[in-house]
Amino acid sequence: MKKRVAFFGILLGLGLVAAEVPGTVAGQWTGGTLGLILQPAPAAPGGGSTINIGPLPTYTAELAEGEGKELVMSYCSICHSVTYITMQPPLANWKPTMDKMLKTYGAEKWIPADVAEKILAYLQAHYTPETRKE
């Protein structure tokens, strides 16, 4: 046992073994405010890097004329472009999509029920397989 302690003492003296005290955490600690999480500095932009993505669309899709168009433009475009309406495949029933927007995505917080019904009527009148104009 004495040989083991002596050998450990030699290794400790040479800096080959770190002494750990039971009940403590070993490591390098820096001063600072308790609870402060330091973020790494942002990387500097590299010189000469170019990414070409082509032109971005600068238009809003034209919706079909009809009662409720202004409601769609005002309420639906709060969350997404109305282009999403025109690029959808013609839906036979817009009710499940409206329910998803209202209930799942929370649009019922700012779209009154009577307005939602008018929006649904507009979509059913202009964007079903039978009524959609190409």
User: Domains of the chain: which residue ranges?
Assistant: 69-126
The answer to whether residues 72 and 122 touch, using CB atoms and an 8 Å cutoff, is yes
pLDDT for residue 65: 93
**Integer Cα distance of 9 and 17 in angstroms:** 9
- According to DSSP, residue 25 is labeled -
How many CB atoms sit inside 10 A of residue 25's CB? 7
123, burial (CB in 10 Å: exposed 0-12, middle 13-18, buried 19+) = buried
Q: Which CATH number fits domain 69-126: 3.30.70, 3.40.190, 2.60.120, 1.10.760?
A: 1.10.760
Per-residue pLDDT of the chain (134 residues; tens, 9 = 90+): 555 555 555 555 555 445 555 555 555 555 556 566 666 777 776 666 666 777 766 777 889 999 999 999 999 988 888 888 888 888 889 999 999 999 999 999 999 999 999 999 999 999 988 887 65
Which residues, at least 6 apart from 105, have a Cβ–Cβ distance to it below 8 Å? 79
Pick from 63, 66, 68, 110: nearest CA to 87: 63
